[in-house]
């Protein structure tokens, strides 16, 4: 009898625990359902905002109309907004809440020069030579703002402590605004950062990127008549070309994951004048930050040798410096689980027709239905051969990023196809997938603060206990006019 009594008590305790667990899970599910329904109710309004930013297509540090739209939404929702942070007129921080964990989200909104395109499945610029959102930052900024507002409303209704902070980060395309914000200490008190990027698939994995250093080399020589007095000239263009030749020879002796690319910004003008000035720009990349620093050192040696051999001089101006992204598996898996719940992008008949037509412009065909699938979680995905100023953030606060299918599967970023899909309903559907996934993931972090502790421990283990952040750009000022004239 005693044994049976103990057995019955154990069954009763087990049943009670199951009921408590079920109620807890249902509570979490209901919280997320409310957040998702909140966002669905605002879909048309959010699409209007994103498409207005797509229409403005403003370049880096010139995004005045775009930030007015985004900040207007945040102010109307009750956020405290500070504009012009870290010395950048179009950078801002918006925050709501008190106490508790601080969850950060990122908003980008700059376009790319020369990428004008109508929302049609064939190459057709809206205005030849003008800018276009070929990286989808109009959707990036709108989705992050929408998610932040949805989280704010959930915090407010639930009565939970916590702060949601949205960082308006301009000029991602070469301006590196986030680096200046990290350098200014604006992320020092954040507990976790959730972000995303437009893409052609739905995916969340702890993927890294390439660290990068960008610099401009201005060579100076002696002008002279190229036919009558060539002996008196010292060609700055010769200096640039000699440097480029040496860097190209160096490629045989660098780690295979490295990337070094350059462009000739100014070659000297009239061919009958020995150029007194010539300019080239470089970007050096590698998955490992110390290796990037060493490659940059070697590129400087090439510049030294070129100047010596051509009897010219040069000045170097550091332009960018990005850390590689520090992956965080704890956050990436959390976001993946929520992405699976949210689901992918299902095309209607007209969208499928658009997708099939644009698919014909790709070198390799991809099934458009892939937009409605969620990529498998990969705990060790390696790195992608690109660079982003999100990298610096990820070394000081646990950070993760997801991709959402805002473009037709098979689309490459920085293409007219990306601009086209981002200007119509396909892009808007993918944008909503991102907003819902970010918001529901933030809810999980507020309700399960132990996940934040685990994410922080992972960051400290990956970067090393003695790590101290020092930006790759030194004390350079933000290049606020780098897009002026494009």
Whether the CB-CB separation of 141 and 66 falls below 8 Å is answered with: yes
Domain range for residue 176? 22-209+328-463
Within 10 angstroms of residue 478's Cβ, the number of other Cβ atoms is: 22
Nearest to 240 by CA among 189, 186, 278: 278
pTM of the model as a whole? 0.90
* Residue 481 falls inside a structural domain: no
| Whether residues 53 and 171 fall in one domain | yes
| Dihedral angle, C-alpha 60, 65, 67, 70, nearest 10 ° | -140
* Residue 350 falls inside a structural domain: yes
| Whether residues 230 and 254 fall in one domain | yes
Bridge partners (DSSP) listed for residue 479 = none
* Residue 6 falls inside a structural domain: no
Nearby residues of 5 by Cβ (< 8 Å), 6 or more positions away: none
| Whether residues 220 and 317 fall in one domain | yes
Exposure letters 15-28 (e unless 16+ CB within 10 A, then b): eeeeeeeeeeeeee
| Whether residues 204 and 275 fall in one domain | no
Read off φ and ψ for residue 464, nearest 5 degrees.
Answer: 95, 145
Nearby residues of 115 by Cβ (< 8 Å), 6 or more positions away: 57, 131, 132, 133, 134, 414, 416, 419
Last-in-domain residue among 290, 322, 354:
322
* Residue 468 falls inside a structural domain: no
Number of domains in the chain: 2
* Residue 146 falls inside a structural domain: yes
Strand order in the sheet with 211-220: 259-266, 277-286, 211-220, 313-322
**Predicted local distance difference test score (pLDDT) of residue 28:** 54
* Residue 305 falls inside a structural domain: yes
CATH classification of the domain holding 55:
3.40.630.10
Whether the CB-CB separation of 214 and 320 falls below 8 Å is answered with: yes
Mean pLDDT by 10 residues, the chain (486 residues): 50 48 53 96 98 98 98 98 98 96 98 98 97 98 98 96 98 96 98 98 97 97 97 98 98 96 95 98 95 97 98 96 97 98 98 98 96 96 92 98 98 98 98 98 98 98 93 94 91
Which DSSP letter does residue 324 get? P
* Residue 78 falls inside a structural domain: yes
| Whether residues 303 and 262 fall in one domain | yes
| Whether residues 360 and 388 fall in one domain | yes
| Whether residues 335 and 412 fall in one domain | yes
Last-in-domain residue among 322, 345, 371:
322
| Whether residues 249 and 350 fall in one domain | no
| Whether residues 345 and 439 fall in one domain | yes
Nearest to 47 by CA among 14, 67, 69: 69
Bridge partners (DSSP) listed for residue 167 = 93, 106
Which DSSP letter does residue 223 get? -
Whether the CB-CB separation of 364 and 410 falls below 8 Å is answered with: yes
CATH classification of the domain holding 260:
3.30.70.360
Can you tell me whether residue 9 is helix, strand or coil?
helix
* Residue 156 falls inside a structural domain: yes
Q: How far, in Å, CA of 201 to CA of 373, rounded?
A: 8
């Amino acid at each position: 009898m005693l044994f049976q009594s103990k057995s019955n008590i154990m069954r009763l305790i087990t049943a009670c625990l199951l009921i408590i667990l079920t109620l807890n899970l249902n509570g979490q599910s209901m919280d997320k359902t409310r957040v998702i329904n909140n966002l669905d109710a605002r879909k048309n309004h959010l699409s209007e905002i994103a498409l207005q930013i797509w229409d403005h297509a403003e370049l880096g540090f010139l995004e005045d109309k775009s930030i007015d739209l985004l900040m207007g939404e945040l102010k109307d929702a009750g956020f405290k907004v500070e504009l012009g942070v870290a010395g950048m007129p179009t950078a801002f921080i918006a925050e709501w809440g008190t106490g508790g964990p601080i969850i950060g989200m990122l908003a980008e909104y700059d376009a790319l020069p020369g990428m004008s395109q109508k929302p049609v499945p064939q190459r057709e610029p809206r205005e030849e030579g003008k800018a276009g959102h070929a990286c989808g930052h109009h959707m990036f900024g709108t989705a992050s703002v929408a998610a932040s507002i949805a989280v704010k409303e959930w915090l407010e209704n639930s009565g939970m402590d916590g702060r949601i902070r949205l960082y308006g980060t301009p000029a991602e395309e070469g301006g590196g605004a986030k680096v200046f914000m990290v350098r200014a200490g604006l992320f020092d008190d954040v507990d976790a950062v959730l972000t995303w990027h437009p893409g052609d698939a739905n995916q969340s994995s702890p993927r890294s990127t390439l660290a990068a250093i960008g610099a401009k080399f201005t060579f100076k020589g002696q002008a002279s008549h190229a036919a009558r007095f060539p002996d008196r000239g010292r060609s700055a263009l010769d200096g640039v070309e000699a440097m480029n030749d040496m860097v190209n020879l160096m490629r045989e002796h660098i780690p295979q994951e490295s990337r070094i690319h350059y462009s000739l910004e100014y070659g000297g003008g009239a061919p009958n004048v020995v150029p007194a000035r010539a300019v080239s720009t470089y970007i050096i990349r590698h998955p490992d930050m110390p290796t990037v620093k060493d490659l940059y050192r070697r590129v400087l040696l090439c510049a030294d040798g070129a100047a010596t051999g051509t009897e010219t001089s040069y000045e170097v101006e550091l332009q960018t410096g990005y850390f590689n992204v520090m992956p965080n598996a704890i956050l990436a898996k959390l976001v993946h689980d929520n992405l699976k719940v949210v689901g992918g992008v299902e095309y209607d008949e007209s969208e499928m027709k658009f997708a099939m037509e644009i698919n014909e412009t790709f070198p390799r065909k991809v099934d458009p239905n892939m937009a409605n699938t969620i990529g498998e979680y990969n705990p060790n995905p390696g790195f992608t051969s690109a660079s982003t100023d999100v990298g610096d953030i990820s070394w000081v606060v646990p950070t993760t990023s997801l991709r959402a299918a805002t473009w037709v599967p098979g689309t490459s970023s920085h293409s007219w196809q990306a601009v086209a899909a981002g200007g119509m309903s396909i892009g808007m559907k993918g944008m909503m997938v991102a907003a819902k996934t970010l918001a529901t993931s933030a809810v999980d972090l507020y309700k399960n603060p132990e996940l934040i502790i685990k994410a922080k421990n992972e960051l400290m283990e990956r970067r090393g206990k003695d790590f101290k952040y020092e930006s790759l750009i030194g004390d350079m000022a933000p290049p606020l006019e780098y897009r002026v004239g494009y």
